[in-house]
Amino acid sequence: MSDRIFNVLFLCTGNSARSIMAEALLNFYGEGKFRAFSAGSLPAGQVNPLAVKTLEKMKVPVGDPSSKSWDQFAEPGAPDMDFVITVCDNAARETCPIWPGQPINAHWGVADPVSAPPEEQQLAFVSAFVVLERRIKIFVELPIESLSRIALSTKVKEIGALLPESREIFWEEDHRDN
């Protein structure tokens, strides 16, 4: 087995919720095989507290998340990305910078929990978490080293279509209490 660590950048417009959760999830489930980052095209400047609360509730290490611009990952000296994955539809439609390393790009759309009505936001964050967690668990199991670039690109893109968007997920609050 290779000791190579694969860099993955998760993009969302504001880099305050979905991409932050995806970064934490991949760093947790990637078990040293992946190094995840997140950024946004128009960063909010702060991480949504419900994103942090959701990660903590689900026992995923949060680290020190920050809302940052995707520009810093396109600058000289930035880590070469192996994968760039958009998690919101707005970021997927934007013209992205040229990423060093010619990464595989994919879109894994997840409904924006911030746009849910205030009384539904906590459930919306948990639902977004569930979708991201399921996709990331599938992603980390891919036999990356044994797939051709084309096959790998296809599989990574298919992950985004495997599961419904988060607003379609039914969630029971005690799911993680076992």
**Any idea which residues carry the catalytic annotation?**
12, 88, 96
Whether 66 and 37 have beta carbons less than 8 Å apart is answered as no
Distance, CA of 26 to chain centre: 7
Residue 35 β-bridge partners: 7
Rounded-to-integer distance, Cα 162 and Cα 138, Å: 10
Selection from 91, 126, 125 nearest residue 108 by Cα: 91
Token pair, residue 53, equals 């609360």
